[in-house]
Amino acid sequence: MTANALPAEFLSRLSERLGPRLTTSRAVCEQHGGGGMHLPPLPPQAVAFAETVDEIVHVVRACAAFGVPIIPYGAGTSLECHVGAVRGGVSLDLSGMNRILHVNVDDQDCTVEAGVTRSALNEHLRHCGLFFPVDPGADATLGGMASTRASGTTTLRYGGMRENVLGLTVVTAAGEVLRPARRARKSAAGYDLTRLFVGAEGTLGVIADVTLRLHGAPEATAAAVCAFPSAAAATASVTEAVQLALPLARAEYLDETAIKAVNGAFSTGYPASDTLFLEFHGAPDDVTRHAEAFGAIAREHGGGAFQWALEPEQRAQLWRARHHAGFAALALRPGARPWSTDVCVPISRLAECIVLTKADLASAPFPNTILGHVGDGNFHVILLLDPDNAEECAAAERFNEALVARAIEMDGTCTGEHGIGLGKREALRAELGGAVALMENIKRALDPRGIMNPGKIFLEQRSSVSG
Amino acid sequence: MTANALPAEFLSRLSERLGPRLTTSRAVCEQHGGGGMHLPPLPPQAVAFAETVDEIVHVVRACAAFGVPIIPYGAGTSLECHVGAVRGGVSLDLSGMNRILHVNVDDQDCTVEAGVTRSALNEHLRHCGLFFPVDPGADATLGGMASTRASGTTTLRYGGMRENVLGLTVVTAAGEVLRPARRARKSAAGYDLTRLFVGAEGTLGVIADVTLRLHGAPEATAAAVCAFPSAAAATASVTEAVQLALPLARAEYLDETAIKAVNGAFSTGYPASDTLFLEFHGAPDDVTRHAEAFGAIAREHGGGAFQWALEPEQRAQLWRARHHAGFAALALRPGARPWSTDVCVPISRLAECIVLTKADLASAPFPNTILGHVGDGNFHVILLLDPDNAEECAAAERFNEALVARAIEMDGTCTGEHGIGLGKREALRAELGGAVALMENIKRALDPRGIMNPGKIFLEQRSSVSG
C-alpha cells in the first residue's frame, strides 16, 4: 500500500512543538525503516524524536487527528521488521527519552524512560548491588524490549520481560497517559493491562516508561564452556539439569558451525563441536556446587571438561562471543543476508526438535548455524542467504515454515522472543487460531482508527482509518 | 436491580442438555450466592453444573442467545462476592470439571480442568516429585484461583497464579473455545491473552482448564515460629531478608491477637507476641544455611529463638494454624461477621504501613487482628463486626477506605490477592484512574452484551443487554 503524503498542516503541528526533532530527511527515515534480516526495510515518511511524555502525547494526538500511522522506535534492533512503516506515517523515536527516573534499592525496582538501553541501566546500577538481568544480546531499549516481550540468555534463571516488568506508563491511541499498575510486587486489581502492553509491539499504545524488577548482583559468578559429542547430548544435559531444578543462570547451545565462526572472529580456540556456554550465579559455595552437579550430568552425556571463565573480563569475552555468534557466522558467507528463526518448544521435545531440524538442514542450499537458549526450549537457526537467489530464498521460506509447523505440532510457539512483527503473522494464525481474532478485537477496541503501528501482528486490520 | 424471571425456553434449553444438573432449587441457588464477609449473598436464579467444555459452550451460547448473565463458580471461596448474581442469571458450577488432563513430569507442567482443587492436584502429584505451590489457604479450584489471580503464603518464593499459569482454555462470551498460548515456557506470539484472563474474574469468559507450572518438591523443608517485640521488628526482618535475596519459602506475620486466637483454637502455646511463621525449602544444607541467615537477621531485630517444625505433621499443624487464624479469630467475638482487608505495598513501606494501621485500629470499635504475607508487602486486617451495628459497620468502612488510601499513597494496591469483585470497585478507580476505562473498553469488546459475570470489577457497565 502506498501511503499518501503527510498533510502539511500535520507536519507543521509536529514541528511547532518539536522543532528540528521532527524531520522528513530521507536518510533519517531510511535509518528508521527496520528490515535487515529477511524482510526489506519500510521507511516512515517522517521521524519525530520525543523527549518527554508530553511530546509523545502531542505526536499521538496529531496522528489521531489526521489518521496518520505512528510507529514507536527504540534502538531498531528487533528482527521481524516491527518498526517498518507498512502504511507510511511517523516513526516516533524514543531514544531521547533516556532518563533513569527512580531506582528503589530497598524495593529492588526502578523506573526508566522507554529509551534507556539495558546497558545504560546496568551501568547506572553498577554500584548499588543490583542489576537488570534480561539480556537479548543486542543493546536494545527497555521500552522496545517490553514491547516485543524480549528475553534472552538469562531468562532461564531470572525470567524475561513478561516476568520483570512490574508496571509501565502508556500513551493510548487517543493520547491519554495511563499507568495500569502500581509498584506493589503483586496485585489482583483488575485486568492485567501491564502484561497486555508487554508484547503488544506498539500496536495498542506507546510505552513511555517501564518499572522493572531488579535482582541482587550475584555474590559469585562463574562461566564455562563445555563441548559435547552431539546436539542431542548437549541439549539433553541442560534439559536434565532444568528438570532437577539446578539453578543455571545461562545455558546456551552453539553448534559446531557457530563455534568455528566464533573461533574465527574472536580467536577463542574452542574445540569445534556441539557446545554449551554456561553461567552459574550465587554464593561462592553454590556456584561451585551447581557447577559440579552440572558437570556430573554433562559427563553422563559425553561432555568434556569445563573451560572456565572466572574473571569478569574472561566472562565478558565469552558472552561477547556468544552474543556475536550470529554476526560472526556472517563470515561463513560474506555478503549474505542473515535470517534468524525463533521457535520455542516444551523442553521435553527440544532435543528431538533440534535433531530433526539438523536433518532438514543437511540438504539446505545455504550455510546455517544453530544457537539456542536451550534451558527455555528456544533456539535460533541462522540462515545465511544470497538475497539475489530466489530459489534459495524460497527454500529458506519452506525450511522456516516446516520448522514452525514442527514447533507448533510439539505444542510450542513460532516465536520464543523475537515477536510477530511482519514476519510471523501467518505463523501466529497457524499457532493460535481463533485467539488471534480475539486479539484483533482488542486491537480495534483500543485503537479504533488503526493508527498504532498498523500492519503488525495481524494479517489484515479491519480498522476504519476514515479521518 | 431485580432480574426478570428466566425464560422457560431458556431453562428448557439448558435442562435438555444437563438434565438434573440444571436446577432452580432455592437452596442450591442460595449456596451459590457468595457473600459471607462484608457483602450480602446474591443468589443466582439457576445453577448449571457443567462437566465438559461442550457443556460450558452450550450454557454460554444459551445465555448469549437469551441475554442471561452467567457467573462462573468454582469452590465459592472468593472474598469479594465475585460469584454473586448482581443481575440474576445462571451460576455455572465447574466443580464437576475435576479431571487432571495431563501431567508432564519432564516439562514440569500439568493441565487440569477448572474445577480441580489445589489440594486434589497436589494429592495427585504426591509421588512424582513435583508440586503446585500457590496456596491461598482455602481449598479453592484452580480455575477460580486463575480467575482471581490468587496468590498466598508461598508466593514470595514461587510466585502466584500470574506467574504459574502457562496457558488456559477459555470459552468466550460468544461460546467459542480458545486456547491463547501453547505449552512453551516462553513466547512472544501476540498479545498475552493468558494473563488477561488470569484475574479477569470471569468477566471476559469462562476458564475451562488451566496449564500450570509445577515445581520440584523441595528435598528438605523446615518451618519455624519466631516471636518479635513488635510488628515493625517482625516486618523489618522479612523485608531485610528479601532485600538480601534470602530465599524464604514462606514468611507470614501474625499479630499478638492472631497468636492468642491460634493458641485458643489449636492449643499451640506460642508466646503471645508479634510473630513470624517461616518456611525454608531446598537441599538440606541450604535449608540450614538460610534458616541460620534469617535467624541472625531476626536476632538483630529482637526476634526470639526459632520454635522448629521439622516433621511433616508438625509443619502441617503450623500451617493449618496460620491458614485458619482468621477463622480462629472468630472466637474473639462469637457471632461476628469477619471482613478481611487486602492491601499490598512496596516492601520498603510495609513496616510503616502496618504501624500506621495499628495506630488506626487502636481506637476501632471492633475486635481485629492482622495477618500478613509480609515478604510480598501484602497484609490482611480481619475486622470482627456486629452486622446489626450500623455505626460499627460504618466505622469499618471508614477504616478500610483510609487503609486503601494509604496503600495507594504508598504506590501500593487495594488488593494484593483477593480481587475486585463487588467490594473493591470504587477502590480500583481510586487506584488506577483512567486505566479502568481502558479495562471497560476491553470488557465491551470481548463481551458486548455484558453477560459474563456482570456488575463485577466495574461500577457501571455500559453494555447493551438488548436481547
Residue range B381-407, pLDDT digits in tens: 999 999 999 999 999 999 999 999 999
Continuous segment of H or E residues that includes residue B210:
strand B205-213
Cell of B273: 507476641
Instruction: Look at residue B36 in the predicted model and tell me its pLDDT.
Output: 72
B-chain residue closest to A106, CA distance: B348
Please give the mean pLDDT across all residues of chain A. 95
Percent of chain A with pLDDT over 70: 98
**CA–CA distance, B35 with A412 (Å, rounded to integer):** 41
Q: A411–B183: do the CB atoms touch at under 8 Å?
A: yes
Q: A192–B184: do the CB atoms touch at under 8 Å?
A: no
Report, at the CATH architecture level, how domain A8-95 is classified: 2-Layer Sandwich (3.30)
Task: Give chain A's length.
Answer: 467
Considering only the beta carbons, identify the residue of B155, B193, B431 that sits closest to A435: B193
**What residues in B contact A435, CB-CB < 8 Å?**
178-180, 190, 193
SS3 A407: helix
| Residue B47 to residues B6, B146, B175, B185, Cα–Cα distance (Å) | 12, 21, 18, 37
Count of alpha carbons within 13 angstroms of residue B203, beta-carbon side: 28
Contact A366, A332 (CB under 8 A): no
Task: Note whether A8-95 and A332-409 share their fold.
Answer: no
The 3-class secondary structure across B55-107, one letter per residue, is HHHHHHHHHHHHCCCEEEECCCCCCCCCCCCECECEEEECCCCCCEEEEECCC
SS3 A36: coil
**CA–CA distance, A193 with A182 (Å, rounded to integer):** 12
- Give me the residue spans of the domains in chain A: 8-95, 100-216, 220-328, 332-409
Considering only the beta carbons, identify the residue of B105, B183, B376 that sits closest to A186: B376
SS3 A457: coil
Count of alpha carbons within 13 angstroms of residue A300, beta-carbon side: 12
Is pLDDT of A3 > 80? no
Q: Measure in Å the smallest separation between the Cα of A25 and chain B Cα atoms.
A: 32
Residue A289 pLDDT grade (very low, low, confident, very high; cuts 50, 70, 90) = very high
Kindly report, residue by residue over A93-128, the tens digit of the pLDDT. Answer: 999 999 999 999 999 999 999 999 999 999 999 999
Q: Identify the residue whose cell numbers are 534492533.
A: A77
**Can you name the CATH fold of A220-328?**
Alpha-Beta Plaits (3.30.70)
Q: Identify the residue whose cell numbers are 490482611.
A: B380
CATH code of B333-409, in short, is: 3.30.70.2740
Pairing of strands A90-93, A70-73: parallel
Q: Measure in Å the smallest separation between the Cα of B405 and chain A Cα atoms.
A: 13
**CA–CA distance, A446 with A463 (Å, rounded to integer):** 11
Instruction: Look at residue A36 in the predicted model and tell me its pLDDT.
Output: 72
Report, at the CATH architecture level, how domain A332-409 is classified: 2-Layer Sandwich (3.30)
pLDDT average, residue stretch B87-93? 98
| φ/ψ (deg, to 5) at A230 | -160, 165
**CA–CA distance, A224 with A309 (Å, rounded to integer):** 6
SS3 B51: coil
pLDDT average, residue stretch B83-107? 97
Is pLDDT of A4 > 90? no
Percent of chain B with pLDDT over 70: 98
Cell of B35: 457473600
Instruction: Look at residue B122 in the predicted model and tell me its pLDDT.
Output: 97
Nearest to B94 by CA among B123, B115, B124, B121: B115
Q: A180–B150: do the CB atoms touch at under 8 Å?
A: no
Q: A376–B185: do the CB atoms touch at under 8 Å?
A: yes
Cell of B10: 431458556
Considering only the beta carbons, identify the residue of B182, B204, B408 that sits closest to A412: B182
**What residues in B contact A425, CB-CB < 8 Å?**
none
Kindly report, residue by residue over A28-68, the tens digit of the pLDDT. Answer: 999 999 977 788 899 999 999 999 999 999 999 999 999 99
Kindly report, residue by residue over A353-407, the tens digit of the pLDDT. Answer: 999 999 999 999 999 999 999 999 999 999 999 999 999 999 999 999 999 999 9
Report, at the CATH architecture level, how domain B220-327 is classified: 2-Layer Sandwich (3.30)
**What residues in B contact A239, CB-CB < 8 Å?**
106
Contact B170, A434 (CB under 8 A): no
Q: A348–B104: do the CB atoms touch at under 8 Å?
A: yes
Considering only the beta carbons, identify the residue of B108, B187, B377 that sits closest to A243: B108
Q: B189–A413: do the CB atoms touch at under 8 Å?
A: yes
**What residues in A contact B196, CB-CB < 8 Å?**
191-192, 195-196, 442
**What residues in B contact A162, CB-CB < 8 Å?**
186, 192, 195
Considering only the beta carbons, identify the residue of B160, B184, B414 that sits closest to A412: B184
Contact A72, A206 (CB under 8 A): yes
Instruction: Look at residue B221 in the predicted model and tell me its pLDDT.
Output: 95
**What residues in B contact A158, CB-CB < 8 Å?**
none
**What residues in B contact A109, CB-CB < 8 Å?**
346
Nearest to A323 by CA among A248, A266, A273: A266
Contact B259, B395 (CB under 8 A): no
Cell of B271: 508466646
Lowest-confidence pick of A253-262, A417-426, B195-204, B323-332:
B323-332
Torsion of CA A200, A204, A209, A210, to 10 degrees: -40
Cell of B449: 452484551
Considering only the beta carbons, identify the residue of A108, A419, A446 that sits closest to B188: A419
Residue A66 CB partners (closer than 8 Å, separation 6+): A6, A7, A9, A10
Instruction: Look at residue A467 in the predicted model and tell me its pLDDT.
Output: 32
A438, A443, A453: best to mutate for the B interface, most B CBs within 10 A: A438
Considering only the beta carbons, identify the residue of B107, B184, B196 that sits closest to A191: B196
Q: B190–A215: do the CB atoms touch at under 8 Å?
A: no
Q: B187–A413: do the CB atoms touch at under 8 Å?
A: yes
Residue A2 pLDDT grade (very low, low, confident, very high; cuts 50, 70, 90) = low
Residue A180 CB partners (closer than 8 Å, separation 6+): A167, A168, A170, A193, A194, A197, B432, B435, B438
Pairing of strands B177-178, B220-228: unpaired
Considering only the beta carbons, identify the residue of A104, A181, A415 that sits closest to B188: A415
Contact A379, A406 (CB under 8 A): no
Report chain A's terminal Cα–Cα distance, integer Å. 17
Lowest-confidence pick of A130-134, A283-287, A401-405:
A283-287
Q: Measure in Å the smallest separation between the Cα of B21 and chain A Cα atoms.
A: 30
Q: Tally A–B CB contacts below 8 A.
A: 258
Q: B184–A378: do the CB atoms touch at under 8 Å?
A: yes
Residue B97 pLDDT grade (very low, low, confident, very high; cuts 50, 70, 90) = very high
**CA–CA distance, B241 with B226 (Å, rounded to integer):** 14
Q: Where are the beta strands (DSSP E) in A301-401?
A: 307-309, 337-340, 368-373, 378-385
Residue A313 pLDDT grade (very low, low, confident, very high; cuts 50, 70, 90) = very high
Considering only the beta carbons, identify the residue of B244, B416, B441 that sits closest to A186: B416
- CB under 8 A, 24+ apart: contacts of A257-263: A257/A329, A257/A332, A257/A367, A257/A368, A257/A369, A257/A370, A258/A325, A258/A328, A258/A329, A258/A369, A258/A370, A258/A371, A258/A382, A261/A325, A261/A328, A261/A329, A261/A331, A261/A332, A261/A369, A262/A321, A262/A322, A262/A324, A262/A325, A262/A328
A186, A441, A461: best to mutate for the B interface, most B CBs within 10 A: A186
Q: How far is CA B165 from the centre of its chain?
A: 14
Is pLDDT of A448 > 90? yes
**What residues in B contact A155, CB-CB < 8 Å?**
186
Q: Does domain B100-216 have CATH number 3.30.465.10?
A: yes
Alpha-carbon dihedral sign for residues B82, B84, B89, B92: positive
Q: A189–B428: do the CB atoms touch at under 8 Å?
A: yes
**CA–CA distance, B108 with B119 (Å, rounded to integer):** 18
Q: B178–A439: do the CB atoms touch at under 8 Å?
A: no
Kindly report, residue by residue over B140-195, the tens digit of the pLDDT. Answer: 999 999 999 999 999 999 999 999 999 999 999 999 999 999 999 999 999 999 99
Alpha helices in B244-389 (DSSP H): 256-266, 284-300, 312-323, 325-329, 350-362
Residue B340 CB partners (closer than 8 Å, separation 6+): B37, B79, B326, B380, B381, B382, B383, B418
Q: A186–B435: do the CB atoms touch at under 8 Å?
A: no
Considering only the beta carbons, identify the residue of A180, A198, A433 that sits closest to B432: A180
Instruction: Look at residue B2 in the predicted model and tell me its pLDDT.
Output: 61
Percent of chain B with pLDDT over 90: 93
| Residue A355 to residues A230, A260, A352, A403, Cα–Cα distance (Å) | 9, 20, 5, 12
Q: State pTM to two decimals.
A: 0.96
Please give the mean pLDDT across all residues of chain B. 95
**What residues in B contact A347, CB-CB < 8 Å?**
106-107, 185
Q: Measure in Å the smallest separation between the Cα of B412 and chain A Cα atoms.
A: 5
Q: Which residues pair with A167 in a beta bridge?
A: A211
A-chain residue closest to B152, CA distance: A186
Q: Measure in Å the smallest separation between the Cα of A271 and chain B Cα atoms.
A: 30
A-chain residue closest to B205, CA distance: A438
A-chain residue closest to B151, CA distance: A186
